[in-house]
Amino acid sequence: MRLNDDSVKWVNMHPQASWASMEVDKIYRKHMDLELVVTSANDSHESGLHPEGKAFDCRTWIAGEQWDSGIRYFIVDKIRLALGSDFDVIGETDHIHVEYDSHA
């Protein structure tokens, strides 16, 4: 896993979000032969669970081209299965949003 650039902040991330990023990286490597690139984490401009360190966004393009929807849905399903019900995984048009949203 790597951060997109210096604007992406990966400090004070929740332990479950850190674990999830490693799992997502494994899925990207296994099914796409790609390293996970995080495009947003607990950056100050984000809302929702990002500022709490419980959410991050994943790149969904190769060489400037977005993945087609079939690939994106396939990867989203693999991530959902791997992370379980304490996580919300949302396939947006230009990224995959992952958040730790335990209701316990």
Q: Is residue 97 part of a domain?
A: no
Q: Is residue 98 part of a domain?
A: no
Strand pairing of 55-59 and 95-100?
antiparallel
Residue 51's pLDDT is: 87
Q: Is residue 103 part of a domain?
A: no
Q: Is residue 35 part of a domain?
A: yes
Question: What's the predicted TM-score (pTM) here?
Answer: 0.92
Residue 44's pLDDT is: 65
Q: Is residue 101 part of a domain?
A: no
- Residue 65: CB atoms within 10 Å: 7
Count CA atoms within 13 Å of residue 93 on its CB side: 0
Q: Measure the CA–CA gap between 72 and 91, rounded to whole angstroms.
A: 7
Identity of the amino acid at 9: K
Q: Is residue 96 part of a domain?
A: no
**Domain carrying residue 72:** 2-90
Q: Which helix (H) or strand (E) holds 58?
A: strand 55-59
Q: Is residue 29 part of a domain?
A: yes
Q: Domains in the chain: how many in total? A: 1
Residue 103's pLDDT is: 67
Residue 47's pLDDT is: 72
Q: Measure the CA–CA gap between 57 and 34, rounded to whole angstroms.
A: 15
Tens digits of per-residue pLDDT, 42-72?
A: 986 667 888 899 999 999 998 888 999 899 9
Residue 4's pLDDT is: 94
Residue 55's pLDDT is: 94
Residue 63's pLDDT is: 80
Q: Measure the CA–CA gap between 27 and 49, rounded to whole angstroms.
A: 23
Residue 43's pLDDT is: 80
Q: Is residue 22 part of a domain?
A: yes
Measured CA angle at 72 (ends 60, 27), to 5 deg: 80
